[in-house]
Structure 1
């Protein structure tokens, strides 16, 4: 166990030390404000305060972990060997940056509470983030900093046995609509047919009818293929089904249709199932509650995980609503159009409410790549290269890699050619040795 001496034990300090030390590095941490207790401790120990006591392992503290609310904080990002960091703390510290303050800034999503430009859907843009602006979005810097901290501790405490964690994969399958043509109802099918004709998309018009009449397999119905992949993999897949009402933004199947319910139940027999909340549930608690109860009725168990429609988050309201409904995990944190680590970590972390200054019970699983972003690359080789780069970053810190694919990603539709191979690379990466 690591003992931390500090002049003030705050909720922020406890939160970030437990993430870095316990969740990333695997050892327990406790805190004291008593010098005598610190001196008497005969194992791992550091002082985290303004002034060094003697010649102990010392990290000079930044004020952010002792603040409350939001303040105007000066961020000066600097190189640190193969990565970057901020909150430089001088030569007396055992490590040159206050990694705990910097980690808190990223994990709490401090910057997303500050004034920023949003996209057309009201989402926080990757280009607005400190990580993008200073070119470290592609690295799980919080985990990298944690390992640097561990290496420094190893030098000071060579006899301590540090635990090792293993790289893992958590594949996400997003299902905004389970079928392209099936179960859409008469009016939607008729409207879709007219749309095909007006756009001269005669192939789509033809395919729509032969699928509806059962003469061809629906291209979005890839569930048998995915379940077979699940049976072969040691990593549990997590499906998110949209069951909200039809709207401008959400065009799934009516959740009261028996075949759709049967599909969700069938998938739940093999994989974990969560709720993909509808666009209007983001700002409407009663709609969110209705969708949660509906999904629990379908899967016949307590809903454990959610993913917000369009990867949109309204902090802190989106997460507070989930907490009130006792949803324990969320998989929305990430960027649709950029690869990387929105919260700086590839280790699940708890949502810290900056308004109430508390660690909440909601665990955030930040995703690192979405299938859509790989469409920027025209060749399969470029897609593979990009995918392997992000996998490598996670492997170097033995983290949890979370990719988001969709059910239609595994179809035979032209733009998704080669994505089955990409998914195989992801699954196989967990059977190879970490770096």
Structure 2
């Protein structure tokens, strides 16, 4: 058990130390504010303060973990063995920056509480982030910092044997639209034919006609094939179904269609299921509540996981809504069509609500890529492989997000990438 001396034990401090030292590095930790208790402790110990008490393992603290609320912070970026870091410290500190304050700043999404320019969908964009502006968005810096810290710490305390974690691969599949053509209702079917003609998409017109006549499989209906792949490679995929009402941005078929109900039930027998919260539920907890109830009723078991459609994640309100509705896991922490680690990490972590100054029970599973069909496949794949290598180095969790639309026969490059990732990182 590591004993940490600090002048004040705050919720921020307890949250950050527990996550970095215990959850990531496997080192149990306790705290004290009493100097005599710290001095009398004959086992592993460190101090986190402005000045060391003696010759103990010492990390100089910044003020962030002892504050409350939000304020403007002047961030200085420096390099630590070619890894960017924040909050530099003095010479007495065992590491050149305050790893705990820096990690809290990124994990809590502190910068997203500050004023920022929203995009057309009301989202916080990657371009607004400190990581993007300083070119470390595609690097899981928090996990890298932890590994560097562990090396220095174990040199000081070689008898410690921390619990090692393993790399894991968790594919996520969005289902914003279950079928391309079928089960859409007469008005939407006729509208689709008219649109194909107006836009001169005659091949699509023929495909639509063939599917509706039962002469051809729906191009998005690849669920059985992918269930078989996941079983073959012993990989649990996470499927998120959008079941909100039809709107400008939500185009799935009705949850009351029997075939759609059977599809969700069948997928839930072999994979993990979650709610792809509708565009309209972005700020409307009542709509979110209705959608959760629909999915609960469909699969006959509690729904604990959620993602936000279009990645319309607004911190902290969306997370507060999830907590109020008793969701326990979220998979929205990332950027749509921009690769990278939004919270600077590839490790699941609990959401810390700065407004309430508490660690919540909502576990965040950060993803590093979401592809919906709008980017160059070759460039995107190259970036994915680089991030994957970084995650493997720190034994983190690699979570890519695909859409069933992208994994259809229309996008063979992406389907091939998905299958190759399964082959290389399966549990078979």
TM-score (norm 2): 0.97
Determine the structure 2 residue equivalent to 1:84. Answer: 84
Match of 2:389 among 363, 388, 392: 392
Question: Using the alignment, how far apart are the partners of 2:352 and 2:196 within structure 1?
Answer: 48
Determine the structure 1 residue equivalent to 2:403. Answer: 406
1:46-125 paired onto structure 2 within 5 Å: 46-125=46-125
Question: Using the alignment, how far apart are the partners of 2:24 and 2:181 within structure 1?
Answer: 45
Question: Using the alignment, how far apart are the partners of 1:73 and 1:375 within structure 2?
Answer: 34
Question: Using the alignment, how far apart are the partners of 2:152 and 2:76 within structure 1?
Answer: 23
The answer as to whether partners of 2:372 and 2:406 remain within 8 angstroms in 1 is: no
1:21-420 paired onto structure 2 within 5 Å: 21-372=21-372, 375-377=375-377, 379=378, 382-413=379-410, 416-420=411-415
Q: Offset of 1:51 from its aligned partner?
A: 1.2
Question: Using the alignment, how far apart are the partners of 2:2 and 2:71 within structure 1?
Answer: 30
Uncovered stretches (5+) of structure 2, i.e. residues with no partner: none
Q: Offset of 1:417 from its aligned partner?
A: 2.0
The answer as to whether partners of 2:409 and 2:415 remain within 8 angstroms in 1 is: no
The answer as to whether partners of 1:168 and 1:235 remain within 8 angstroms in 2 is: no
Q: Deviations over 1:218-239 (max 9, x none)?
A: 0011101110111023331100
Question: Using the alignment, how far apart are the partners of 1:144 and 1:428 within structure 2?
Answer: 26
The answer as to whether partners of 1:23 and 1:347 remain within 8 angstroms in 2 is: no
TM-score (norm 1): 0.96
Q: Deviations over 1:364-417 (max 9, x none)?
A: 11111122488324x4xx55432211110100100000000111222111xx22
Provide the secondary structure at the position in 2 that maps to 1:31: strand
Question: Using the alignment, how far apart are the partners of 1:373 and 1:402 within structure 2?
Answer: 18
Question: Using the alignment, how far apart are the partners of 1:374 and 1:163 within structure 2?
Answer: 41
Q: Offset of 1:292 from its aligned partner?
A: 0.5
1:421 aligns with 2:413: no
Q: Offset of 1:47 from its aligned partner?
A: 0.2
The answer as to whether partners of 2:167 and 2:391 remain within 8 angstroms in 1 is: yes
The answer as to whether partners of 1:222 and 1:408 remain within 8 angstroms in 2 is: no
Question: Using the alignment, how far apart are the partners of 1:362 and 1:178 within structure 2?
Answer: 28
Question: Using the alignment, how far apart are the partners of 1:55 and 1:349 within structure 2?
Answer: 33
The answer as to whether partners of 1:246 and 1:252 remain within 8 angstroms in 2 is: yes
Q: Offset of 1:115 from its aligned partner?
A: 1.2
Which aligned segments of 4 or more residues in structure 1 are displaced greater than 6 angstroms? none
Provide the secondary structure at the position in 2 that maps to 1:351: strand
Q: Offset of 1:63 from its aligned partner?
A: 0.2
Uncovered stretches (5+) of structure 1, i.e. residues with no partner: none
Question: Using the alignment, how far apart are the partners of 2:312 and 2:147 within structure 1?
Answer: 31
Q: Deviations over 1:230-259 (max 9, x none)?
A: 102333110000010000010001000110
The answer as to whether partners of 2:234 and 2:426 remain within 8 angstroms in 1 is: no
Question: Using the alignment, how far apart are the partners of 1:351 and 1:104 within structure 2?
Answer: 11
The answer as to whether partners of 2:372 and 2:403 remain within 8 angstroms in 1 is: no
Question: Using the alignment, how far apart are the partners of 1:235 and 1:60 within structure 2?
Answer: 43
Q: Offset of 1:162 from its aligned partner?
A: 2.0
Provide the secondary structure at the position in 1 that maps to 2:227: helix
Distance 1:9 1:131, change over 3 A: same
